[in-house]
Chains A and B, each alone.
Chain A
Amino acid sequence: AQSVTQPDIHITVSEGASLELRCNYSYGATPYLFWYVQSPGQGLQLLLKYFSGDTLVQGIKGFEAEFKRSQSSFNLRKPSVHWSDAAEYFCAVGDVYNFNIFYFGYGTKLNVKP
């Protein structure tokens, strides 16, 4: 069965520090991969996506993610976190055989210390 695991429920980093949010997935083939961000009371905004090709993907707001097939991972990174990055982050897998179905992790809440 398909699943997405985000091992860290909460992460706190200092402003200006680097950030890595982990995501592992279980899927029978190479999936489509996504990272979304959600601010309190808001909908989900796409940060970046991977369909194929270069395994290092650049997104909005200075985020990037790297697809590692051997580790079934798609970790999100940012070299220097800003206070406005405090939000909840969701990793998602798109079903390549049934493309209207997306599987989401439980999310990681990011807190940024001044």
Chain B
Amino acid sequence: NAGVTQTPKFQVLKTGQSMTLQCAQDMNHEYMSWYRQDPGMGLRLIHYSVGAGITDQGEVPNGYNVSRSTTEDFPLRLLSAAPSQTSVYFCASSSLNTEAFFGQGTRLTVV
């Protein structure tokens, strides 16, 4: 049972570089979301999607883009990485009346 799969697990970027964090789920969930986790701040919602072709901003969307072309995939793009984006990123999926299922996270360092 794969669940929610995130790649890569670790990444180091230089300031200004771009990259895409990948997220895939195999549970046929309608809802997918991205959170960032910073020490002492819990998880904060970056972007979310209620289905293919539909995305919306969460609490901390600046500096990030998303798209949802299929039910299974929800990539997160950093167009120009900044040190403030150093964090652990979690992708989650859910359906009506379910909890959020989380991936194992991507630890990103921007130098």
Contacts and interface: CB of A to CB of B under 8 A. Distances in A.
Interface of A: 4, 9, 32, 34, 36, 42-44, 46, 49, 51, 90, 92, 94, 99-107
Quick one: which of A4, A36, A102 has the most chain B CB within 10 A? Answer: A102
B103 A43 contact: yes
5 contacts: A34-B100, A42-B105, A100-B30, A101-B58, A103-B45
Given A43-B104, A99-B31, A100-B33, A107 B50 contact: no
Contact of B104 (A42, A46, A51, A92): A42
Given A42-B104, A101-B48, A107 B97 contact: no
B43 A51 contact: no
B42 A107 contact: yes
Contacts, number: 59
Of B96, B97, B100, B104, most buried by chain A (CB within 10 Å of CB) is: B100
A103 B60 CA distance: 13
Nearest to A51: B97
The bracket for how many chain B residues form the interface is 20 to 34
The DSSP consensus for interface residues of chain B is: strand
A42 B9 CA distance: 11
B90 A100 contact: no
B102 A43 contact: yes
A107 B44 CA distance: 12
Nearest to B30: A100
Contacts of B92: 102
B15 to A, nearest CB: 25
Pick the 10 closest A-B CB pairs, nearest first: A100-B31, A104-B42, A104-B43, A106-B42, A43-B102, A44-B102, A43-B104, A46-B99, A102-B100, A100-B48
Interface in B64-107: 90, 92, 94, 96-97, 99-105
Given A9-B40, A43-B105, A44-B102, A101 B33 contact: yes
Contacts of A104: 35, 42-44
A39 B96 CA distance: 27
A90 B42 contact: yes
